[in-house]
Chain A
Amino acid sequence: MAVETTTGSRPAPAAGDGGSTAGPGRGSGGGDADRTGRKSGASGRLGRAVSRYWYAWAMVAPVVGVIGVIVGYPLLRGVYLSLTDADEANVERVIGVNHLPATYKFTGLDNYVSILGDSVFWDRLGWTVVWTAGCVGVTFVLGLTLAVMLNRQVRGRSFYRIGMIVPWGIPAFVSVFAWKMLFNEKNGLLNQVLDGGGIDAVPWLGDPFWAKVAVIAVNVWLGVPFMIVAMLGALQGIPGELYEAAEMDGAGPWQRFRNITLPGLRAVSSTVVLLSTIWTFNMFPVIYLLTRGGPEDSTEILVTYAFRLSFINSPRDFATSAAWGVLILVLLSLFTVVYRRALRRQGEVW
Chain B
Amino acid sequence: MRRVTAVTAAAAVLALTATACGGDGGSSDNAGKGEIAGTVTYWDTSNDAEKGTYKKIAEDFEKKHPKVDVKYVHVNFGDANQKFKNAAGGNSGAPDVMRTEVAWVADFANLGYLAPLDGTPALDDAGDYLKTAAGSTRFKGKTYAVPQVTDTLGLFYNKKMLKEAGVGVPGSFDELKKSAKKIKSKTGKTGLYLRGDDPYWFLPYLYGEGGDLVDPTAKKVTVDDAPGAKAFARMKDLVDSGAAVTDSSDGQENGLKAFQDGDVAMIVDGPWDIAGAQQGKEFKDDKDNLGVAPVPAGSKAAGSPQGGWNLSVYAGTKNMRTAQEFAKYMSSAEVQQRTTEELSLLPTRESVYDKPSVRGNKMVEFFKPAVDEAVQRPWIAEGNSLFEPVRGQMDAVLTGGRSPEEAADKVGDDFRKLLKDQDYK
Contacts and interface: CB of A to CB of B under 8 A. Distances in A.
Interface of A: 88-91, 93-101, 103, 184-187, 203, 205-208, 291-292, 294-298, 311-316
B318 A96 contact: yes
A88 B13 contact: no
Given A93-B89, A95-B316, A297-B392, A206 B82 contact: no
A320 B94 CA distance: 26
Contact of A296 (B12, B111, B315, B400): B400
Interface of B: 1-3, 5-6, 9-10, 12-13, 16, 81-82, 85-86, 88-89, 91, 107, 110-113, 246-250, 254, 257-258, 263, 314-318, 382, 384-385, 388, 392-393, 395-396, 399-400, 418
A298 B400 contact: yes
Nearest to A95: B316
Contacts of B250: 184-185, 205
Contacts of A296: 392-393, 395-396, 399-400
22 contacts: A89-B2, A93-B112, A94-B91, A95-B91, A95-B314, A96-B315, A97-B13, A98-B315, A100-B112, A103-B1, A186-B257, A207-B248, A207-B399, A208-B400, A291-B249, A295-B249, A298-B400, A311-B86, A313-B385, A314-B107, A314-B388, A316-B85
Contacts of B5: 100-101, 103
A206 B392 CA distance: 12
B385 A186 contact: no
Contact of B254 (A90, A98, A184, A316): A184
B249 to A, nearest CB: 5
Given A295-B400, A312-B82, A313-B385, A98 B13 contact: yes
Given A185-B250, A295-B395, 8 more contacts: A88-B89, A88-B111, A94-B91, A95-B315, A98-B9, A206-B399, A295-B399, A311-B82
A91 B90 CA distance: 11
A297 B249 CA distance: 13
Nearest to A180: B250
The 9 closest A-B pairs by CB, nearest first: A96-B316, A295-B395, A295-B248, A314-B385, A296-B395, A95-B316, A206-B248, A94-B91, A296-B396
A98 B111 contact: no
Given A93-B112, A208-B400, A296-B400, A98 B249 contact: no
A98 B316 contact: yes
B9 A100 contact: yes
A249 to B, nearest CB: 56
A312 B391 CA distance: 13
A97 B315 CA distance: 9
A124 B318 CA distance: 43
Most B C-beta atoms less than 10 A away, residue of A88, A93, A208, A311: A93
A294 B248 contact: yes
A145 B184 CA distance: 48
Contacts of A314: 81, 85, 107, 384-385, 388
Nearest to A292: B249
Contacts of B247: 185-186, 203, 206
Contact of A103 (B2, B88, B388): B2
A93 to B, nearest CB: 6
Most A C-beta atoms less than 10 A away, residue of B250, B388, B418: B250
Contacts of B6: 89, 100
Most A C-beta atoms less than 10 A away, residue of B86, B107, B112, B249: B249
Nearest to B193: A186
Contacts of B396: 295-296
Contacts of B113: 95
A313 B257 contact: no
